[in-house]
Each structure stands twice: as C-alpha cells, then as structure tokens.
C-alpha cells in the first residue's frame, strides 16, 4: 500500500500522512511535490508514477501485506 500526499495539502497536513504510514507495517509513504489536497490535478505525472511504482511492487511474490499496528 502507498500513501501519497501533497506537500502543500492545507486540509490534512503531510505530517498526518506520515504518522498514518508509520502506524502500519509495509506501507510506503510518498510526498508529492508541488501538490495540494487534490494531487492528481496539481501534479498528475507524479501521481501516475506513484501508482505505477506501487503496482510494480504489488506484482512481486515477496510483497508485504500492510497491517494496522
């Protein structure tokens, strides 16, 4: 699982996303540059990159399934 967050999100701070990611094992946290609360509108290329990287990791047989701590 990946938590991708806009570095300029004014509704939910990036520190909240980082805390959420640390509370679950196997979670990848990505801070999206030049993006706010709607990163797919602000920086679509970076969102696509995060999705592609996540799906590539999910396709590997040794992937870690996230669990809540």
**pLDDT, the chain, mean:** 87
Q: Give pLDDT, residue 61.
A: 67
Cα gap 62→4, rounded to integer Å: 22
CB 30 within 8 A of CB 1: no
Among all chains, which residue has been given the structure tokens 């806009």? 6
What span, in angstroms and rounded, lies between the C-alpha atoms of 56 and 64? 13
pLDDT tier, 63 (very low <50, low <70, confident <90, very high otherwise)? low
Decide: 27 and 21 in contact? Cβ < 8 Å: yes
Cβ 37 vs Cβ 6: under 8 Å: yes
């Amino acid at each position: 699982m990946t938590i991708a967050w806009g570095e300029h999100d004014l509704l939910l701070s990036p520190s909240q996303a980082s805390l959420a990611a640390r509370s679950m094992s196997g979670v990848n946290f990505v801070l999206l540059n030049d993006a706010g609360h709607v990163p797919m509108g602000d920086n679509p290329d970076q969102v696509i990159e995060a999705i592609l990287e996540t799906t590539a990791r999910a396709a590997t047989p040794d992937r870690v399934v996230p669990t809540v701590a």
